[in-house]
A and B are shown apart, each in its own frame.
Chain A
Amino acid sequence: MSTTTEAAEPASTVDLPESTGGGITTFDITLKVRRYIPEFSDEARWDEWTITMQGTDRVLDALHKVKWELDGSLSFRRSCAHGVCGSDAMRINGRNRLACKTLLKDLDTSEPITVEPIKGLPVEKDLIVDMEPFFQSYREIMPFMIANSPAPSAERYQSPEDRERFDDTTKCILCAACTSSCPVFWTDGQYFGPAAIVNAHRFIFDSRDDAGDMRLEVLNDKEGVWRCRTTFNCTDACPRGIEVTKAIQEVKTAILTRAA
């Protein structure tokens, strides 16, 4: 994955294709959001708004439009708004997505767009869930490098191939889209869940790390990898394109093949 090759110097002037850009399109959508405000009612309810949105708008823009112009009490987490911070995982039309990465024009706008909190974690208010159980599982797999040999004075070396081995699972942003899409997690909140296993994988397959066996032992638990039923919901849900189910399978194989 490392290259230091020189690209050929590009031409000073090129002919550009005709611009395909058009004017800004607008369209109406109906946003249907699962509301729950325990201070004022024990009952959850659905609220609907019909709003006019633009061609490049995402579900997050629609939520903001409601919050900023129509109902300031609508509550959801968000920060970066372009799919790298992991704040705004939610269930959009029944699928776990990041609201900031889901373009409205890619959804069926002839029907109401439904938005619900992710499943399996306690709902605090509207689309906000308690993330603590999720982070608890993450902490239990020891998500940090443990190297037995004394640190060298300079860098540890690692071949590009060894680095590539765990590249996919370094992409995780801890948004919980995978874990909260998992049917096993919905029925058994004790299950570590895909995200914790992904983060264990990131260290188990890092050639610099020496604690793989310890993590495999943790995941060999009855609430560990063996609960996975390979439904691939997690892989479908991952907004970073991580092959989550494959990573879980690799961890299972590693448990079976490790030195006794």
Chain B
Amino acid sequence: MQVHKYDVVIVGAGGAGMRAAIESGQRAHTAVLTKIYPTRSHTGAAQGGMCAALANVEEDNWEWHTFDTVKGGDYLVDQDAAEVMAKEAIDAVLDLEKMGLPFNRTPEGKIDQRRFGGHTRDHGKAAVRRACYAADRTGHMILQTLYQNCVKHNVEFYNEFYVLDLLTVDEEVTDEDGTTRTEKRTAGVVSYDLASGEIHVFQAKSVVFATGGVGKIFKTTSNAHTLTGDGMALAYRAGLPLEDMEFVQFHPTGLAGLGILLSEAARGEGGILRNADGERFMERYAPTIKDLAPRDIVARSMANEVREGRGCGPKKDYVLLDLTHLEPEHIDAKLPDITEFARTYLGVEPYTEPVPVFPTCHYAMGGVPTTIDSEVLQDNDTRVPGLFAAGEVACVSVHGSNRLGTNSLLDINVFGKRAGIAAAEYAADADFVELPEDPTRGVEAMLSTVRDGDGGERVAAIRAELQETMDANMQVFRSETTIKEALGIIENLRERYKKVQIQDKGKRFNLDLLEAVELGFLLDLAEVMTVAALHREESRGGHFREDFPDRDDENFMLHSMLYKDPEAVTEGTQGIRFETKPVVFTRYEPMERKY
């Protein structure tokens, strides 16, 4: 066991982690631990843009952006956080430009902007050009630019280091009124070096989780194989809550059957959706902004067209994204990558043929609860001293029950920067927390259980069954029946996981072992997700219950907070405690959500 000591340890090197590292690295002794090389992170797969009310091509202001974010999230957004994000969006874009990001430009040389779903002028009057972009590879440019600036600032990376445990210690705290309670503090993390199989302990004053999402819980997903919810699961296992995990975004336009993302920019640039009758069906579901309605609405409309028999193809199981009325030069200039995906993976020529598409699991709105300064919460009010989170792993909550397109690239930049600054500032005044006795015990036990298991259950078989039941029962339409079906299967798979057996018994690059560990994360989070979905007997944003089709503000205008707790029972499930947290309102009263 090797022990390292840093002021700040950042876990994850996607957009949020590297944006944090650029800030923290200039202020404090910082290390970044990442399970894949930084430039492999899934930020690079984001396509369409990053919204900020620069008003470079038409009138706009950040208050409209705030409103759109709140309404887009179906009013479950914490409005103070949305204000911070929309206001700081402008500097976030300018920061990236100064770091060298090659944005597309207007004829005058300013950063160009285009339309995106749910982003409107003057509180919903019409679609607005707010998304700053670089063709349809904006995420790629952000990831490369942030990595370039990490190289510039000599950020210290530990590549292919998996973090498998968050070390916390319980401290007795005496409040002003003399009462004492127990509080968790951060001591560091335990990491596994993929190349050697050695375990490393990183003692740190501040730890920043920037580990991304959990899309691999579903079969059809735009997410990378590596997005297995590691940070969420580690926080949960350490006794910290997870917030709003029932809310998952299904992106409307995944390549049919494959789930590969085709950017909403395709519709921002004028593309439209059609059913088997050739009808532009979004005119019926969202008469004002049609195909540029928010993703939850478009995804549900598509699934409904298929359900009512107007799907396309031999199985009538997808709809079409039609770009054929756009000029090929326009497509080449603005959407080169996604049209290449259609050609490469489906053999479809988007100039002349509509592209088969269906919703694909894309983004987790929920995650580890944080304050607007990216500090992780251990209950509704109490921070975990020294623990921070930013990006998809976190729930600030700026996305509420449905994230608007482009707001994730914005989230990672605004809150990644805030997390990096906050972590370094905290470390400047804090002392190291003494490591728990035998800090690697938990990880060693977990790894040896998997390595020595001989029960004959295969990781891939359990994972495939999990993903299939999630697709079948927890996608855009849910009901008590389907959720219970999924939960029953998940409980069964959790039992089978105890008998998992792997084949690779070596120490070097043992991805067989790590895939088994990641499956454990997925199973924990699938259970949390389904229990939260069962509890929320209403429909809001990405969570649609056929048995409760309306939003119910009276009973459910609340964030869900789920804790691992062996004593507790929630919705018949042993081991999970359910609590709620109020939503923060500033200026917007909930209204019916129409587009």
Contact = CB atoms under 8 A, between A and B. Distances in A.
A145 B260 contact: no
A23 B105 contact: no
B279 interface: yes
A11 B511 CA distance: 51
Contacts of A40: 506
Given A87-B37, A155-B98, 18 more contacts: A1-B104, A3-B334, A4-B106, A10-B322, A13-B279, A19-B312, A67-B511, A75-B510, A77-B36, A79-B225, A80-B45, A82-B45, A103-B344, A144-B151, A145-B148, A160-B106, A163-B102, A206-B100
B508 A39 contact: yes
Interface string B266-307: 000110101011111001000000000000000000000000
Interface stretch (B136-144, B545-553, B571-579): B136-144
A56 B345 contact: yes
B108 interface: yes
Query: SS class of chain A's interface: helix, strand, loop or mixed?
Result: loop
A241 to B, nearest CB: 8
Interface of A: 1-5, 7-8, 10-17, 19, 21-23, 37-40, 56, 67-69, 71-73, 75, 77-87, 101, 103, 124-126, 128, 131, 138-139, 142-145, 147, 151, 154-160, 162-163, 166-167, 170-174, 203, 206, 208-209
B94 interface: yes
B509 A85 contact: no
Nearest to A14: B278
Contacts, number: 206
B280 A16 contact: no
Among all A-B residue pairs, the 6 with the closest Cβ atoms: A145-B100, A68-B460, A72-B503, A157-B109, A7-B270, A73-B504
B330 A208 contact: no
B507 A39 contact: yes
6 contacts: A4-B106, A16-B278, A80-B225, A84-B45, A144-B100, A173-B140
B195 interface: yes
Contacts of B37: 87, 131
A71 B313 CA distance: 36
A65 B96 CA distance: 40
A103 B344 CA distance: 8
Contact of B107 (A71, A103, A160, A208): A160
Counting chain B residues whose Cβ lies within 8 A of the other chain, the interface size class is 35 or more
A216 to B, nearest CB: 18
Contact of B104 (A2, A82, A138): A2
Nearest to A70: B503
Interface string B345-369: 1100000011010000000000000
B107 A2 contact: yes
A156 B94 CA distance: 9
A82 B277 CA distance: 31
A13 B57 contact: no
Contacts of B42: 79-80, 85
Given A21-B356, A67-B512, A73 B322 contact: no
